[in-house]
Amino acid sequence: MSAAEGRPGDIVRVGPEPIDAGVLAAALRTDASGAIASFAGVVRDHHQGRRVSHLIYEAYPPMAESELRRIVDEARGRWPVQRMAIVHRTGRLAVGETSVAVVVACAHRRAALEACSFAIEELKRSVPIWKKEFSDTGEEWILGDPSSPC
Amino acid sequence: MRVTVKLFASYRELAGAAETSLEIPDGSTVQEAWGELCRIWPALAAQPYRPLTACNLRHVPAGHRLREGDELALLPPVSGG
């Protein structure tokens, strides 16, 4: 696993370990936290009419973690974020397993919810991670929106 | 000059390599390196999408000039989440 901590208390990680959003939320909470927003991306059993058996995620870990730290920094510049976690899993994931989690601790709900939404959208736009889908029609790399993040 | 090229996901599979060392003229751009890689592996150019490119872990545009020892990464459209 490669892990990288920006600010103390933040968690940024890309690696094969299973993700538990509840554990992340407990790790992020402080007594000043009034709102903890979390998003979990989960492997589902279908995609565009195909029956999906599992996914394999591949990442460019040092760049992915660098991009995730940039997202945390940008979120903190826009909302009063106390602590934040963005964790993405790699390797083979079965239906029902968590592929990604974003957790944000703030004093109030609006900032937590908005920062959480911002982070997952940014992750899907710019972070170098790819998924290969295995389904009843074979296997294929899923392509994201090709618009440039530059 | 020589740069290290990293290939991911579909590009890695099409090339049959995750990493290669590429000799290109001094001052070459990312676009010129991509052209050279497509000569080595024509299957890369045959894809209906273009790569995003990163140099030393940062997204860079096609006109970015490479330097000796840079790490150039070819990124298919990302699909994390």
Q: What is the pLDDT of residue A2?
A: 42
Chain B CA closest to residue A62: B57
- Does the CB of A91 have a partner CB in chain B at under 8 Å? no
- Rounded to the nearest integer, the mean pLDDT of chain A is 94
With cut-offs at 50, 70 and 90, classify the pLDDT of residue A146: low
State yes or no: pLDDT of A109 exceeds 50: yes
Beta bridge partners of A13: A3, A87
pLDDT by 10s per residue, chain B, length 81: 999 999 999 999 999 999 999 999 999 999 999 999 999 999 999 999 999 999 999 999 999 999 999 999 999 999 999
pLDDT tens per residue across span A35-79: 999 999 999 999 999 999 999 999 999 999 999 999 999 999 999
Strand positions, DSSP E, chain B: 2-7, 19-23, 52-55, 58-60, 71-75
State yes or no: pLDDT of A16 exceeds 90: yes
Q: What is the pLDDT of residue A50?
A: 96
Task: Answer whether A98's CB lies under 8 Å from A45's CB.
Answer: no
Q: What is the pLDDT of residue A147?
A: 58
Residue window 35-54, chain B: list those with CB within 8 Å of chain A: 49-50, 52, 54
Q: What is the pLDDT of residue B73?
A: 98
Closest-CA distance of chain B to residue A17, Å: 15
C-alpha B15/C-alpha B38 separation (Å) is 10
Judging contacts by C-beta atoms under 8 Å, the chain B residues touching residue A125 are: 78
Q: What is the pLDDT of residue A145?
A: 77
**Three-state SS sequence of B39-62:** HHCHHHHCCCCCCEEEECCEEECC
- Does the CB of A130 have a partner CB in chain B at under 8 Å? yes
Taking residues A90-100, what's their average pLDDT?
Answer: 98
Q: Which amino acid is at A105?
A: A
**φ, ψ at A110 (rounded to 5°):** -60, -45
Q: Which of A147, A10, A140, A126 is nearest to B9 (CA)?
A: A140
Chain B CA closest to residue A86: B81
C-alpha B56/C-alpha A149 separation (Å) is 16
**Would you list the DSSP string of A37-98?**
EEEEEE--SEETTEEEEEEEEEE-HHHHHHHHHHHHHHHHHHS-EEEEEEEEE-EEEETT-E
* Secondary structure tally for chain A: helices H, strands E: 3, 10
Q: Is there a contact between A146 and B77 if contact means CB atoms under 8 Å apart?
A: yes
pTM: 0.93
C-alpha B76/C-alpha A78 separation (Å) is 29
Q: Which amino acid is at A50?
A: R
Q: Is there a contact between B78 and A57 if contact means CB atoms under 8 Å apart?
A: no
Q: What is the DSSP letter of A99?
A: E
Q: Is the ipTM of this complex over 0.90?
A: yes
Q: What is the pLDDT of residue A4?
A: 47
C-alpha A132/C-alpha A43 separation (Å) is 12
Q: Is there a contact between A126 and B78 if contact means CB atoms under 8 Å apart?
A: yes
Q: Please name the member of A62, A66, A127 whose beta carbon is closest to the beta carbon of B80.
A: A127
The percent of residues in chain A predicted with pLDDT above 70, rounded, is 93
State yes or no: pLDDT of A22 exceeds 70: yes
A·B CB contacts under 8 A: 85
Taking residues A138-148, what's their average pLDDT?
Answer: 82
Q: Which of B50, B35, B43 is nearest to B5 (CA)?
A: B35
CA distance readout (Å), A116 to A17, A106, A107, A120 = 22, 11, 14, 7
